[in-house]
Structures are given as structure tokens and as C-alpha cells.
């Protein structure tokens, strides 16, 4: 909420972790027994998509007492930032008035109102409330059951900030405020009203870090049924390995950078909760007939694991799953009395650390591998307390297959435009075809991707791999048949659609049918260790080399014969683009 720009992200389904009642509280208001019974029953379902299950309720507000909010749990943040206005062009005063925040019939009401109000020598035309929890924590799960306003110009939010944030007027600032935003880290559990390109029932989550803030790329979202009229449970599950966001118990976005640094992971220190409704600014114009809007909150709950654990994991198994030219799947499972198991995978490409609920099988796809290469994996199991499996490690070996497919880079669009272009790859795996596209444009925010089948036309949502890389596997194809697909990239404020690519299932080729002159342009040796020799059919050739993540390593004009020194490049797959009077050709280069 400190610094946000509109964005759009992937869509998902929804479910319910707790029973929903739009008129009165659930039975959770009656007894503690029912709270823990509900939690127990929900674990196999509501927690099944998170990496660490948190089961001990450590802090909550059930809003049972009518009147002012509980001052032992909440702080009204009312002090204006320097300059006299809140961030993002917002136009409200935050107050501690009972009309802006109060408890009634078991619900906290945060109310944004149209009314002139003077505070700190400044008059504004709207009031609202911004609450800080007086509780902070490191790692755990937050569940907030709430009904939010969808009025134009309103920006309701449930979010978190690092306890160390340097923000005058915040509850923890005077004692702990040593770090400026975004180095403190920000976790937006739910926000609504700042994505005008999305349907009204769309909610989003976001993370702000030194590596991506304000106009952040770390965003995810989904559609909530009947958003303005129904209560939903907005959740965030935070472990040392990843942060997952859930709507009604179903994960719709997970943030887990493979290599964690202070720049992309400031989430290793305590954070506190914030509840508020902002007005105007990036939430858009406020209609002249607006009078007030409220966010109703049924409960706020924080769970952690607090029991002392001395038992090591048991029944640890690890095996090899699906193998492709660039990935190897590891199938892991173990049990632990704590309810969670940590897995640590080491191999020549580095280390992968993750967690998973006890007894739940976990598939781990090891990416960015070389084709026709043998890999050895050392896998260990432990729990969050550091107890290790008695027979660690399990050692696995697997060899990647050769590549059967086509790939390249292009800029052509059948709708919208591309400022840089996109990478594409079609790979045959058995009778399946894995289709991967990456948008290379750096000026697009909140990118999601949809695969378009040309005939009969069908649209499929693609899975985000990392950054702006998306994939979808088309199953049950016939070897030798021709398929044709394009990709629609949607983003804040627009969309761009690639051209359709025709691919013969089971073939190794350049996409589409290359001419004989194109085929006679040679790059060798391939795979290459040092010097790559080019023999081209034109005396003037524009060439460029990008890696599998889209990073361009060089671009130059060369003659018909040229030697390229590849020695300094890391092993991996690269794409060489050759443009001359005979057209454009894309070649895949393997660097050993």
C-alpha cells in the first residue's frame, strides 16, 4: 500500500477453508473447541497447497466487543507523511474517530466517508481508518475473513510491513524504525480497486522489495465470487522458503525466488498487519455521489508452530520422475511429527531448498539442465527444528534426454505490438508437446499469458515459470501431426498476441519450413566450448545471441564468415538470430 501501480495477473479458482455466512458469524464465535476443530478438519484441504503448515493460533481478534477497536491489539495510524498527503495521490485523512472504525455485532467496520476533516493543519474531504496491529511475527499464516467494498475510488487493503520500517506515526516506528521502504519488505495480502483493466471481482496480492517495488512485478491475483456482497477468507502463508497467497483456502500466487538476497527477500524479519481503506489516487476518481463505503472484518488470526520438536523425519523416499532435455523431476516424500518436512537438494547446478507438509508427495522440477547430460542429486530431509532423517542423504542419478523440438525468437504480433519481442519453444515429450513462451519486453507490468489454439480456436491459461516465462503442455498428440498455436500476453493496460506457429509433433526443426538457402547457413561446432564458426550466405548479416531467459549477450553485424568466442559464456542453451537478405533464421546453440 505504500507505493502501488495498477497491474493484472493470473486467474484461479476458489474454495472455502471455513464455512461462510454472510449475515452472522460462523460457529467459531461459540467455543475455542470449535475453532480448533475447524482448523483440524481444514488441514488436509485448506493447507494442501502450501509448503509449511502452521497449526498453533498465536494471536487473533474475533471482534466480540461492540464499540471502539481493542486498543491493546490495534493502533490508529493518523500522522500524515511529510508534505501533508498520503502516498499514491490518496486524498483521505486517517482518523481515530469512532465513525471510521468500530466493532458492531461481532464485526470490525473500517469506514471511508465523504466529509470535510481538518487534522495537523490540513483539511481533506474524505476520512478513513488505518489500523496497525500491535503484534508482529516472523513466519506463519494469516487468515482474515472479510467483506470488502467495490466502490469506484476505494482501495481496501489487508497487508503487512516490516516491523523495522521508518514511517513516522507507525506503531513500531519510534522503537524499531531504522529501515526505509521498501528495504523493510511489504506483503500485500489483499487489495482491490487499483486494477481497472480487471473485472470488479478481481483481487490481487503483491510483494515490494528493493529489487521490485512500486510498479512491482511480484504480483498475483484471482477472481472472487460476488466480491462486494460475500465474505471471503484472505490468507497469506509465510515460510523461510516462500510466501503463498490464498483465497478461501486455495493458493493463487506463490513468491519464491530461487536465490534469496536482501534485495529480493527482506522477509526474514518480523512484520505487522495493517487494515485500511484508501481513497482516490491510483484507485481512480471518486464519484461525486459517493458518501461512504465499509470493509467488514469477521476475524483476524495468526498461526505459527510453537511446540518443541525433538523427533526426526521418518519414511523418507526419493526417486526420479519425468526426464526431459532440460529438466529432471524428483519425487520426494517423508513424514514428521511436526507436520512439515524440509528438503535440501544439491547438484552441479546449485542447491534447491524447500518445505512440504508431512506425508504429502512433492514433485520438484530441476530446471535449466543440459541435454544428454548425467546429473547426480544428493537429497536430505529434516524438519524446521533441525532434526535430520537418520539415513540422509539419498543419492539419485539421471540423464537428460536429447532435445526434440523447435525454438527461437520473434517480434511479429497479430494484435498489439512487442517492443523487444518474445522467445518461443516447442518440445515433444513422448506424445505431449511442451510449449514455452517468454515475453522479452521490459515495459509491461503484471504479465499473464494465454495459449491460443488456431483451429478450433481455444484459449488456455499458461503456467508462470519465472519472470515473464510461461508454459503449457498439450497432451495426447499424434507424432507427425501439425499443431498451430500463438500466445496472448495480457498486462496492465493492454495485450500483445504473437503470430501462430506451426509445429510438427516429434520433429527437430526451425519452426515453419526453412528454405534451402537458410539451411545452408552453418554454425559449428554445436555443442560448442570455445569458438563458434559461422558460414552465412550474405556479406552483411545482423546477428544477436540471447540465453534461455531472454538476456541478450551480444548484437553485431558480421560478414559471411565469422568466428564467435563463446568461452566466457556459462554452459546452457542460447538462441542465435541471423537476419540478412534471405530473411530471418533462429538457431539453437548449446554451450558446453
Q: For 417-446, write each residue's pLDDT tens digit.
A: 999 999 999 998 888 999 999 999 988 888
Residue 9 confidence (pLDDT): 28
Task: Please tell me if the domain spanning 27-304 has the same topology as the one spanning 516-591.
Answer: no
Residue 548 confidence (pLDDT) above 80: no
Residue-range domain boundaries for the chain: 27-304, 314-399, 407-504, 516-591
Chain centre to alpha carbon of residue 61 = 28
- H helix and E strand count, the chain: 3, 42
Mean pLDDT of all residues in the chain? 87
Write out pLDDT tens, residues 68-106: 999 999 999 999 999 999 999 999 999 999 999 999 999
Q: Mean pLDDT throughout 26-42?
A: 37
Residue 172 confidence (pLDDT): 98
Rounded CA-CA distance 162/182 in Å is 9
CATH number for domain 407-504, candidates 3.30.43.10, 2.20.28.160, 1.10.3720.10, 2.60.40.10: 2.60.40.10
Write out pLDDT tens, residues 172-215: 999 999 999 999 999 999 999 999 888 899 999 999 999 999 88
Residue 582 confidence (pLDDT): 67
Rounded CA-CA distance 168/73 in Å is 19
Domain 314-399 - what CATH class? mainly beta
Whole-model pTM: value is 0.67
Angle at 557 (CA atoms; ends 554, 563), nearest 5 degrees: 75
Residue 136 confidence (pLDDT) above 80: yes
Query: Which CATH code for domain 27-304?
Result: 2.60.120.200
Rounded CA-CA distance 40/13 in Å is 23
- Whole-number percent of the chain with pLDDT over 90: 64
Write out pLDDT tens, residues 491-532: 988 899 999 998 988 887 644 434 334 445 678 888 889 999
| Active-site residue list | 186, 191
Residue 513 confidence (pLDDT): 39
Beta carbons of 126 and 91 less than 8 angstroms apart: yes
Domain 516-591 - what CATH class? mainly beta
- The C-alpha cell at 373 is 547430460
Q: Mean pLDDT throughout 240-249?
A: 96
Amino acid at each position: 500500500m505504500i507505493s502501488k501501480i495498477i497491474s493484472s495477473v493470473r486467474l484461479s479458482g476458489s474454495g472455502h477453508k471455513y464455512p461462510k455466512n454472510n449475515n452472522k458469524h460462523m460457529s467459531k464465535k461459540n467455543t475455542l473447541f470449535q475453532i480448533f476443530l475447524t482448523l483440524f478438519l481444514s488441514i488436509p484441504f485448506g493447507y494442501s497447497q502450501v509448503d509449511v503448515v502452521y497449526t498453533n493460533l498465536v494471536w487473533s481478534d474475533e471482534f466480540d466487543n461492540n464499540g471502539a477497536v481493542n486498543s491493546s491489539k490495534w493502533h490508529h495510524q493518523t500522522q500524515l507523511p511529510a508534505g501533508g498527503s498520503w502516498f499514491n495521490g490518496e486524498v483521505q485523512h486517517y482518523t481515530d474517530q469512532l465513525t471510521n472504525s468500530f466493532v458492531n455485532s461481532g464485526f470490525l467496520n473500517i469506514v471511508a466517508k465523504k466529509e470535510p476533516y481538518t487534522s495537523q493543519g490540513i483539511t481533506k474531504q474524505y476520512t478513513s481508518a488505518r489500523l496497525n496491529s500491535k503484534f508482529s511475527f516472523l513466519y506463519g499464516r494469516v487468515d482474515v475473513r472479510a467483506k470488502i467494498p467495490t466502490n469506484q475510488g476505494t482501495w481496501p487493503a489487508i497487508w503487512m510491513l516490516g516491523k523495522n520500517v521508518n514511517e513516522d506515526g507507525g506503531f513500531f516506528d519510534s522503537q524499531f524504525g531504522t529501515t526505509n521502504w521498501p528495504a523493510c519488505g511489504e506483503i500485500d495480502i489483499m487489495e482491490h480497486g487499483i486494477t481497472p483493466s480487471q473485472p470488479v471481482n478481481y483481487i490481487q496480492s503483491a510483494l515490494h522489495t528493493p529489487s521490485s517495488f512500486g510498479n512491482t512485478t511480484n504480483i498475483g491475483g484471482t477472481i472472487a465470487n460476488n466480491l462486494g456482497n460475500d465474505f471471503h477468507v484472505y490468507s497469506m502463508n509465510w515460510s523461510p522458503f516462500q510466501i503463498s497467497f490464498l483465497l478461501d483456502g486455495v493458493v493463487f500466487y506463490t513468491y519464491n525466488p530461487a536465490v534469496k538476497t536482501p534485495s529480493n527477500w527482506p522477509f526474514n524479519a518480523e512484520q505487522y498487519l495493517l487494515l485500511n481503506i484508501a481513497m482516490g489516487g491510483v484507485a481512480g476518481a471518486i464519484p461525486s455521489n459517493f458518501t461512504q463505503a465499509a470493509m467488514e472484518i469477521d476475524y483476524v488470526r495468526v498461526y505459527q508452530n510453537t511446540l518443541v520438536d525433538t523427533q526426526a523425519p521418518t519414511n523418507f523416499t526419493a526417486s526420479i520422475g519425468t526426464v526431459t532435455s532440460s529438466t529432471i523431476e524428483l519425487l520426494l516424500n517423508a513424514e514428521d511429527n511436526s507436520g512439515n518436512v524440509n528438503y535440501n537438494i544439491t547438484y552441479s547446478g546449485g542447491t534447491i531448498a524447500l518445505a512440504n507438509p508431512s506425508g504429502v508427495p512433492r514433485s520438484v522440477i530441476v530446471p535449466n539442465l543440459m541435454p544428454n547430460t548425467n546429473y547426480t542429486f544428493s537429497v536430505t530431509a529434516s524438519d524446521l527444528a533441525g532434526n535430520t532423517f537418520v539415513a540422509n542423504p539419498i543419492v539419485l542419478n539421471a540423464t537428460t534426454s536429447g532435445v526434440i523440438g523447435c525454438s527461437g525468437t520473434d517480434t511479429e504480433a497479430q494484435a498489439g505490438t512487442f517492443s523487444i519481442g518474445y522467445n518461443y519453444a516447442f518440445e515433444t515429450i513422448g506424445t505431449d508437446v511442451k510449449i514455452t513462451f517468454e515475453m522479452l519486453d521490459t515495459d509491461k507490468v503484471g504479465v499473464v499469458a494465454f495459449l491460443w489454439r488456431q483451429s478450433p480456436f481455444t484459449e488456455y491459461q499458461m503456467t508462470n515459470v519465472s519472470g515473464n516465462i510461461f508454459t503449457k503442455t498439450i497432451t495426447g498428440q499424434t507424432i507427425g501431426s501439425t499443431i498451430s498455436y500463438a500466445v496472448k500476453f495480457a498486462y496492465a493496460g493492454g495485450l500483445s498476441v504473437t503470430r501462430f506457429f506451426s509445429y510438427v509433433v516429434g520433429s527437430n526443426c526451425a519452426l515453419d519450413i526453412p528454405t534451402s538457402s537458410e539451411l545452408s547457413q552453418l554454425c559449428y561446432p554445436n555443442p560448442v566450448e570455445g569458438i563458434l564458426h559461422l558460414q552465412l550466405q550474405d556479406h552483411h548479416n545482423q546477428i544477436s545471441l540471447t540465453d534461455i531467459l531472454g538476456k541478450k549477450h551480444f548484437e553485431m553485424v558480421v560478414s559471411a564468415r565469422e568466428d564467435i568466442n563463446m568461452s566466457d559464456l556459462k554452459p546452457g542453451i542460447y538462441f542465435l538470430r541471423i537476419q540478412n537478405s534471405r530473411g530471418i533464421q533462429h538457431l539453437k546453440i548449446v554451450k558446453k
